[in-house]
Amino acid sequence: MAKRKAVKKNTDILDKKAREIHEQMKKQVDLDLIERGISSNEFEFIYEEKTYKVSKPTYIQKHQAYEAKLKRHYEMLLDDKYVPEELLIKQYARRGINLDEYDKTIQTLEANKNVLKMKLGKGIDDGISESTLHKYREEIERLSQEQQNLSIKKQTYLELSIETQCNIYLYNYLTMLITEEKVDENSWKRVWDSYDDFMKSDEGFILQACFFASLMIHNEVSF
């Protein structure tokens, strides 16, 4: 009984954390921005009065990031601090937490969201009523929030797993590659020359760049 109460308490904490993170995200981005990003394959954002953008990664950039992830994975296998995800999942299952179900639900939500994004894009092109477009946007937002809550909870449970750490590393590495600063009206330059530069950068800027990058690369990488 005590163990079940502890699990429930931990789950409640994770729910609260997920809601807090989602609210922070909502302050940084709106659905109109997401809509523009979907159609243009890039997101622009402003940080400390400078304009930046993240773009859909190229094949070469994805290959670079994947090679870096493989190297990181090998390094972590040699570190006893990290354990394989499979072992952690089994440990949580013994405590009544089925993380495999989280994955199935997240995948279903993503499929439903993609259908709505297609309808939204087609609806904009066809000039359908604003009220219908608004309904699409609201449903995309609702599904995104539910998906983010589940993802955050699962990531928190599996924070020390090798797979989770490597996935975080992959997203960070891609963010490092695809984030650019606006030089003038016609040109952009890469923000970071190396992953070390990325990690030494301002934390607030990194978090914002990673958030916008995650919207762009979510369907562009496979683990």
Q: Please determine, for residue 3, whether its predicted confidence score (pLDDT) is greater than 50.
A: no
Query: Which tops the pLDDT comparison, 168 or 219?
Result: 168
Sign of CA dihedral 111, 113, 117, 119: positive
- Answer for the pair 195, 67: CB distance below 8 angstroms, yes or no: no
Q: Are residues 38 and 52 in the same domain?
A: yes
**Structure confidence by residue, pLDDT tens digits, 62-88:** 999 999 999 999 999 998 888 899 999
Instruction: Identify whether 181 is part of a domain.
Output: yes
Within a domain: 40: yes
Query: Does residue 12 form part of some domain?
Result: no
Length of the chain: 223
Distance CA 70, CA 180 (A): 25
User: What are residue 56's phi and psi, to 5 degrees?
Assistant: -55, 125
In this model, does residue 220 exceed pLDDT 80?
no
Residue 192 located in a structural domain: yes
Q: Examine the domain organization and report whether 42 and 150 are in the same domain.
A: no
Q: Classify residue 83 as exposed, middle or buried by CB count within 10 Å of its CB (0-12, 13-18, 19+).
A: middle
The amino acid that residue 91 corresponds to is Q
Per-residue confidence at 152, pLDDT binned at 50, 70, 90? confident
Question: Could you give the number of structural domains in the chain?
Answer: 2
Threshold 0.85, pTM exceeds = no
Give yes or no: residues 171 and 218 share one domain. yes
Domain span at residue 90 reads 84-159
State the pLDDT at residue 161: 92
Domain final position from 120, 142, 159 = 159
